[in-house]
Structure formats: C-alpha cells, structure tokens
Structure 1
Amino acid sequence: MTIRLYDTRAQQLRDFVPLDPENITMYVCGPTVQSGPHIGHVRAALSFDLLRRWLSRQYGRVTFVRNVTDIDDKVLDNATDVEPWWALAYRMEQEFTAAYAAIGILPPTYEPRATASVPQMQELIALLIERGHAYPAPDGSGDVYFDVRSWPEYGTLTNQSVDAMEAAVDADPRGKRTPQDFALWKGAKPEEPADAVWSSPWGPGRPGWHIECSAMSRRYLGDRFDIHGGGLDLRFPHHENELAQSSAAGLGFAQYWVHNGLVTVDGQKMSKSLGNFTLAADVLDRHEPMVVRYALAAAHYRSSLDLSDSSWSEAEAALGRIRTFVERAQRVPAVPSAQTAPTDAEYVPLVPEDFARAMDDDLGVPQALAVLHDRVRRGNQALDDGDDAAAARALLEVRAMLEVLGLDAATTPSGGGAAASALDGLVQEMIAQRARARADKDWAAADRIRDAIAAAGITLEDTPAGTHWSIDG
C-alpha cells in the first residue's frame, strides 16, 4: 500500500508517509462564514471528504479538523444592526453544515471556531515577537505584524520572492516595516462592534485571519501533522502566511500541502467577490444530492471544474446505470441483499485492485469511477447470462466502491422517502392493470399502459419472477 499525493510545496507527487500510521492527521481550511456557501465551497469540502474516506479505509483512524472562521473583516462587513456579526456567523455556519450533510460529507472530528481559540493565537503571536519575527506597530494602533524579511523561507510555498509579491492589504501600511508584512493582531477600531474585541498585551483588538489557522491546527493536532488542505486560491497569501508564521515559531507544521482545484464559470474562478457564484442551496433545490456529489467528484480534485447543465444530466445518467444494476442484482435470489452479510469468503466486499490503484495515485477518482462502471457492465452481463455467482461478486464490489466514494446512499431503497414510495405505488398499480389486460388478452390496452409508462421515462422488465421497473438512466 503506497498512497501518492501531489504536494503543492514540493511541486511533485510524493509517497505519503504518515507521522503516525495509527492516526492520520489532517487540517483543512474551512469556510469564512460571512454568507452562505456556493457550489465551489462544497466541491472543496468534498475533495477532502474523499481523501479522508480513502485514508480511513487504508489506515483506519483519521483525525480530521476543519475550522470555521467566524471573526473576520468580511463577517463584520456583512453584519447589520438587526443581525450582529456573531449571529450572522452562526446562521451561515449552519448553512454550510446543511450543504455538506446533504451530499454526504462526513462531519469533522473537530470543527473549532476561531473565536474559541483567541488565547492560543495570542500565545503564538507572543512567541513570534520573542523570536524576532513579529513586531507591534510603532504608531500605538495595537496592530502586530509578521516581519516577512525576518524569515528567509517566506515565499517557498508559492515559489515567489518577497519583492515580487503584492503588498498585504489587511492592515494599515503606515505601521508596517515592509508592505508585504501581514497582520497577526488588529487593533480595535471605533467603527467596529465593541463585542468583536479581545484584550491582549498589545491592546484591545482581534486576530488576523492567518494566525487563526496556525493556532487552531496546533491546538487540535500538535506542532506537526500530516496534511494541510484547502482550495487552490488559498495558497497565497493565506497558506503562505500560515507556513511562514508557524515555521518561524519553531513548529514542524504540515508535512504535505494538498490543494483542490476551483469551480470556474467561463474560465473564471467562482467567487463571491466576482459575483459569478451559484449558491449550493439553489443547486440542491434543483438536483438530487447524490447527483450533485457525483458531478462534483467526477473531475480530478486538482483540476478546474466548469459546471454546466450537462454536468448534472451526465451525473444523473451515470447514477441511473448504477442503480439499475443494483436493483436488478438484488432481485436474484443467489445474490446477497444489502442487509445480508455473505458467509462465503469468496464474497468478501473488498474494492477491486484497479480501483485501489486509482485512489492510491493522487486520489484518482475519475479512474476509480471508470472501474466502478466497468463492474456495473460486467454485472449486467452476468445477469443476462444467468451467472448468479459473477453477478453477486460484481454487486459486492460495486457496493464497496460506492461506500468509499460516499455514493452508497444513492442505491439505498429507503433513500427516496415518501416521494419514491408514492411513485412506486403508482407504477405498481399500472403494472397490475397491464397484467390484467394481458390476462384478458386485451393487447391494445396492455400496449397503451406500457407506452404511457415508457413516456414517463420508466422501463419495464418482464422476468419469471414478475415485472420490475426502473427509471431510464
């Protein structure tokens, strides 16, 4: 077992060698909760959900931390007199949680809010000042900055020199030694809410964005951990600054840097600042959650994903083919049902080797999906040939792969709820009417019923055990 991951800092694929094989540690930058999630946020969270699931299968325990940035300039800017910043942050956090849960993203082991770790942030800032890598602003504003020129390795994550970087825009440049120096602590301002202020050795204020993740990852995972993840757009300045301040403080920090590609619209990054975003709630209103999960997972996690109407229709068709096979296979008496654990060692539900190779190779989900559909085709052929043993094996492999990909809910009979039950009742009644017409040799009526069912996109399959229906994929 050798998993390879693309390490952004090394700019190459690296064999994954965990610090502790008994406990894989991951930190992923979570949302800044100034407004609800767009579909790009959900794609990012899904990328690391897939990685976490695969690491869990290969190693066992994974400690997964995803933070919530609930104090930030953007959160304060979007607050109102009616809804204070802390209420807005909590409401938006719930929207993110709901969107993640809808498509089966597992909850993190820990999900710390930035506001709960301010003492740890201050401790880290004090350490950086003591080590000569940070300084309070001389103007008495209460701001504290990281001195980028004090750390020769600054810029190694994104392969930039300090002089070529843009100036940091998150602080008053008058108090900085160098335009690229960034704020660790922001002194209180009269126009900002009084309850968005914490006391500190440098004066009342609040933490800068970058110090939050360094402090929270250290608090929950220790000075060193395996993987730091986030969107490609976070490499600079956020992750560059995290790496610099943590390393300058003497922390081992992340051993691997993993970044997911972005969702684009006409070649541009989907973002709230550009106004070209699609809210996750709107997508989930229009499409089944498992269709959304499939569509977002179908492209490699490091690639850009340009979503269109065809993305959803292709995902729906692909899931339809998988569901049809599972439904067909479960009707064969020799095939173990979803509720029955097979006793024959031949049917141990291990993922196929070619699926595992794809996942081991930098989380190759597109290649893994190809293996999944290959097994679906083999299973259907086995059913057509009456080879129940081969169909059973294919079904168990398909289920194992669906579980790894978090798509197992797509083939759970109870997953459709009341609407699915109502549809099944209507179709079964039409099937019964058709059967009565055929028994009465009223072939015209039987054909009319079958044509009406087909016009609704439903396929009938007549078998010795009865007539079964499925929705066309």
Structure 2
Amino acid sequence: MKTWPQTSIPELPGTGVPPRIFDTPSGTVRPVDAGPTATMYVCGVTPYDTTHLGHAATYVTFDILNRALRDAGHEVRYVQNVTDVDDPLLERATRDGVHWTDLARDQITLFHEDMTDLAVLPPEHYVGVVEAMQLVIDAVDALTAAGATYAVANDDTCHGPDLYLDLAKASTLGSVSQWSREDMLGVFGERGGDPGRPGKRDKLDPLLWRAQRDGEPSWEGGDLGPGRPGWHIECTAIALHFLGKSFDIQGGGADLVFPHHEMSSAQAECLGTHPFARRFVHQALLSYDGHKMSKSRGNLVRVSQLRAQGADSVAIRMALLRHHYRTEWEWVDADLTNAESALARWRQAVSVNTAPDAEALLVDLRAAIADDLDTPKALAAIDHWVDTCLTSGGHNPTAPGLVARMCDALLGLRL
C-alpha cells in the first residue's frame, strides 16, 4: 500500500544521543540498543473516524523516536500496518450505508493527509491486511503445523470452523503486559475478544481465522477454508515478514498492551520467536470531555476538523509535544491556543538577524529527547532561548537558522 510523501530532515552538526525509552514489560527506561539499522513496528489505524488526536499523539510520539534514532546515526526500518478489514470497519460501513472498501479508502487518504500535515515521517513499509492476506494465511498455517491451533465449530450459516490459538502453547503469556489473568479477563471482551465463545479451550484464546459468513468479505485460505483474519495475527505476520525475528521496537497506544501486543507476542512465540520485540513502547491515552478519546464513545477531536477551522498543523503538533507521551492528559481548547501563541514567538525569534548562541540549546534538546522522549523539557528549553532572544537579543547571525533546523529535525516543528 502506498504511504504518504517522504519528509526531508535538515542536517545538524554533530551526532545525537542514543535514545532511552520506557519498556512496558520491564517497567524501566532502557536504551533502545539498536544496531546500525533500528527496526520499529507501530500498529496502525482501523480506517474509520480517523485521525483523532489520540491517533495523532501516538504517531507523533513514534515520529520523535524515529527522528532521535536517525539523529543518533541509525538507519531506521519502520513498518506500520493498517487494519483495512475488521469487524468495527464493517459495522461502520453498514451503519453509514457505504461499501467497506470505500470507507477504508477514504479514511486512509484522510489519515495520509493528516500525517503529511503533522510532518510525521512515513514508514518504509505501510501494509494493509488485505494486501498481506497471504502472509497471514502462511502464519496461521505455520501455527497449525506447530500444533498451536484448534478449530471451533460453527453452525450451518458459516462456511467451516473458526480457528483459534491455543495459549497453552505460549509459555510467556503475560510477559508484555505483566497483567494477572484476572486483569486480562476484565478487559478482553471489551477489547475485541470473545471470552464467552462456546468450544474455546481457554477464554483468552485469540481468534486466528474467522470462517466465511454470508454477507461478509472473505478470502480463500487454502487448508483454512474461506474466511478472514482475526485481529492480532495480522501484526505478527507483517512484522515478522518485514522486520524479522526480535526486532527493536513494538509501538502503539496504551490500550494495545493487552490484548493486542500480548497476543501478537504469544503468536510469535508459537512461531519460534521470543521475544517478539526487544522493547514495547506505549503512548498514554488522551481524554476529551472527561473520558478517554475513543471511537466507540464518539468524543473525538479530529486533526482534519482542527485544520478545517484554520488551525496551524505545526501548532497542533506542538500542543501534543507539550505533554510527555507516558502521561495521560485531557485536551482543552487552550492547548491549541497556547501552542499558537508560542509558535508565533518562535517564528519571530528565528526571523531576527542575530540571536543568542544556540549550540548549548542543541545539546539540551538532544539530551531531553534521548531521555525517554522528554519533549516538554525540550520545548521548555526552546521557550527559554526564544525569551532571551526577544528580550535581550544576541550577536550570532547563524543561531536563528540553527534553531529553526533543530526544531524541524528533532521535533518535526517547521518554523
């Protein structure tokens, strides 16, 4: 699947600091510790109701990590999926009276426009489930060959049985989330699971292949029969194909810790890969009107709506970066207003002829970003330089350009 346009990154003097990042399984901030090419997989959207600010916060966060890795001298192989066939998408298409492929196409186009406006670097591989269907089928076949699957019978309205992963074959279940079984069961049903399905060996066993139902899209699965994938197997199959075993970073929103990342990892273990990823990194959830911003609740603030109202996309990105990615927070109109005011001052400062020296600022920015993506600290350092510039001036004619380049290269904020 075609991704959005590539964004150029200005060159900066010197080399950045290798980033350290909070790893969910260990509960500690750890070095990414990548080789010459860092490998990163970030779970993409199910394309309906995109792109709300919760989405945007996630992809901006991993864009900062992408930029930090590149600044530290790494090449980055970045893969992102898009769940362009799944129950929520089909249900929304039926509700709105549109074909599910048209809904997916239109929402993917909108997502690309939003990512372009927010200066998010595109992934090297942007992969839809539909185009990766054979990868998924091959992965499910391999799980079956490994003795890690079982069938659950359906009634006569279905074209064969459904296929599930047998979690008894995955000894590391819980290694990603560190959750108890009770905690897992508490949310499994509301996060796409089917704990009450008759015939399952374990309430938590995830669906791998859903047999064809009348009126639903399906693909020929060979020995699996006609059907379509369950949710989690797509990311296991796509990540292992494009990044190989035990890649560096698995990323996404905090609501993906369980079950999605837990199940993706369990499936990979049953395919002979552990760990699935060496670091699991998660963006905290964003709220609006007192509740988590979510499609199901409908309390969404969309990037496209803000842009249509005249908001500067650079200010939207700045507003998101004012909050640390691991801190839950609630969007209010003042977030954008304050960011627009700060952005105007930054642009004024980098347009002067001479300004205070900026080499120390570059050191501070690199250190803040490398320290678990501390973007609030990085922005505060720039605010201080801007205040000094606009109140006291300076004598360095190259400083304004350097500050503009570092804001662009490290933070994706084009002044």
Q: Compute the TM-score of the two structures, normalised by the length of structure 1.
A: 0.77
Are residue 4 (structure 1) and residue 14 (structure 2) matched?
A: no
Are residue 157 (structure 1) and residue 164 (structure 2) matched?
A: no
For 1:315 and 1:297, the matched residues in 2 are separated by 10
For 2:199 and 2:335, the matched residues in 1 are separated by 49
- Residue from 392, 395, 413 that aligns with 1:388: 395
Residue 350 of structure 1, CA deviation: 8.6
Residue 127 of structure 1, CA deviation: 1.9
2:279 alignment counterpart:
256
Q: Which has the higher contact order (CA 8 A, sep 6+)?
A: 2
Letter in 2 for 1:43: A
- Residue 350 of structure 2 aligns to a residue in which SS? helix
Residue 309 of structure 1, CA deviation: 1.4
Note if contact 1:379-1:394 (Cα within 8 Å) is conserved in structure 2: no
For 2:392 and 2:193, the matched residues in 1 are separated by 62
Letter in 2 for 1:355: L
For 2:375 and 2:24, the matched residues in 1 are separated by 19
- Residue 82 of structure 2 aligns to a residue in which SS? coil
For 2:401 and 2:183, the matched residues in 1 are separated by 56
For 2:360 and 2:327, the matched residues in 1 are separated by 28
- Residue from 338, 341, 350 that aligns with 1:326: 350
For 2:272 and 2:360, the matched residues in 1 are separated by 43
2:411 alignment counterpart:
405
Q: CA-to-partner distance for each residue in 1:154-173, whole Å, 9 max, x for gaps?
A: 12222223355325554571
1:459 alignment counterpart:
none
Are residue 360 (structure 1) and residue 379 (structure 2) matched?
A: no
- Residue 278 of structure 1 aligns to a residue in which SS? coil
1:203 alignment counterpart:
225
Structure with bigger helix share is: 1
For 1:314 and 1:277, the matched residues in 2 are separated by 20
- Residue from 245, 249, 260 that aligns with 1:227: 249
RMSD: 2.2
Q: CA-to-partner distance for each residue in 1:100-149, whole Å, 9 max, x for gaps?
A: 11121122111011111111112211222222322122558421101123
Q: CA-to-partner distance for each residue in 1:178-228, whole Å, 9 max, x for gaps?
A: 2111101101111324xx333331221000110000111111111221100
1:134 alignment counterpart:
149
Instruction: Note the 1:329-340 alignment, pairs <5 A.
Output: 329=353
Q: CA-to-partner distance for each residue in 1:62-93, whole Å, 9 max, x for gaps?
A: 11111111010111112249632122111111
Instruction: Note the 1:165-314 alignment, pairs <5 A.
Output: 165-166=184-185, 168=189, 170=193, 173-193=197-217, 196-252=218-274, 253-286=276-309, 287-314=311-338
Are residue 68 (structure 1) and residue 90 (structure 2) matched?
A: no
Q: Please list every run of 5 or more consecutive structure 1 residues that lacks an aligned counterpart in the other structure.
A: 336-345, 412-473
For 2:410 and 2:178, the matched residues in 1 are separated by 35
Residue 308 of structure 1, CA deviation: 0.8
- Residue from 26, 44, 54 that aligns with 2:58: 44
For 2:136 and 2:32, the matched residues in 1 are separated by 30
Residue 231 of structure 1, CA deviation: 0.3
Note if contact 1:66-1:111 (Cα within 8 Å) is conserved in structure 2: yes
For 1:170 and 1:393, the matched residues in 2 are separated by 54
Q: Compute the TM-score of the two structures, normalised by the length of structure 2.
A: 0.87
For 1:302 and 1:84, the matched residues in 2 are separated by 37
Q: Please list every run of 5 or more consecutive structure 2 residues that lacks an aligned counterpart in the other structure.
A: 1-16
For 1:161 and 1:382, the matched residues in 2 are separated by 57
For 2:289 and 2:145, the matched residues in 1 are separated by 48
For 1:68 and 1:351, the matched residues in 2 are separated by 38
2:105 alignment counterpart:
90
Note if contact 1:350-1:397 (Cα within 8 Å) is conserved in structure 2: no
For 2:73 and 2:374, the matched residues in 1 are separated by 18
Are residue 34 (structure 1) and residue 64 (structure 2) matched?
A: no
For 1:174 and 1:190, the matched residues in 2 are separated by 21
For 1:208 and 1:37, the matched residues in 2 are separated by 23
Residue 152 of structure 1, CA deviation: 2.4
- Residue 299 of structure 1 aligns to a residue in which SS? coil
Structure of higher CA gyration radius: 1
- Residue 26 of structure 1 aligns to a residue in which SS? strand
Residue 250 of structure 1, CA deviation: 0.9
- Percent identity between the aligned chains? 33
Letter in 2 for 1:25: T
- Residue 303 of structure 1 aligns to a residue in which SS? coil
For 2:271 and 2:405, the matched residues in 1 are separated by 47
Letter in 1 for 2:205: D
Note if contact 1:28-1:66 (Cα within 8 Å) is conserved in structure 2: yes
For 2:320 and 2:308, the matched residues in 1 are separated by 16
Note if contact 1:295-1:315 (Cα within 8 Å) is conserved in structure 2: yes
For 1:16 and 1:42, the matched residues in 2 are separated by 23
Residue 289 of structure 1, CA deviation: 0.9
For 2:42 and 2:349, the matched residues in 1 are separated by 36
Note if contact 2:361-2:382 (Cα within 8 Å) is conserved in structure 1: no
Residue 288 of structure 1, CA deviation: 1.2
For 2:373 and 2:337, the matched residues in 1 are separated by 24
1:117 alignment counterpart:
132
For 2:261 and 2:51, the matched residues in 1 are separated by 21
Note if contact 2:211-2:227 (Cα within 8 Å) is conserved in structure 1: yes
- Residue from 309, 316, 324 that aligns with 2:340: 316
Letter in 2 for 1:158: S
